[in-house]
Amino acid sequence: MKNKIRVLILCTGNSARSQMAEGILRQDGGDRFEVHSAGVKPNAVRPEAIQVMNEIGIDISGQHSKSVDEFIGQSFDYVITVCDNANETCPVLPGKTERIHQSFEDPPAPGAADEAATLAVFRRVRDEIHAWMRAFAAERVQ
């Protein structure tokens, strides 16, 4: 069996965008990918991310925020940064790692908008990430 494609997805807090991307690629990529996510300044996984992912049948409630430092020294086929801050501060990882930057909007901070508006942004960002990750996976698995 061919080796799995190792992917590390980074954002600032590892609380929403990278968590959603990890869950999506785990589900859509199946056993072809080994997927991890991390943050340059990790924070707790946002409950809104868990909620909107559940709406599309992907459970990320067991995922937790991790620091990119946990992955220093490991090699990955791809490191995907999903926010500009992570792209600017991403450490150099060993091996033939291909870095890809695809920035997605940062959903509102807790309390910054009403619940309906916040969830609307989370849903839109989730759908954008889902479409992008689906294309990413399809291009790499023939």
Residues classed as catalytic = 11, 83, 90
What count of other Cβ atoms lies within 10 Å of the Cβ of residue 41? Answer: 15
How far is residue 88's CA from residue 83's CA, in Å, rounded to a whole number?
9
How far is residue 140's CA from residue 134's CA, in Å, rounded to a whole number?
10
How far is residue 78's CA from residue 62's CA, in Å, rounded to a whole number?
23
Please tell me what DSSP assigns to residue 81: E
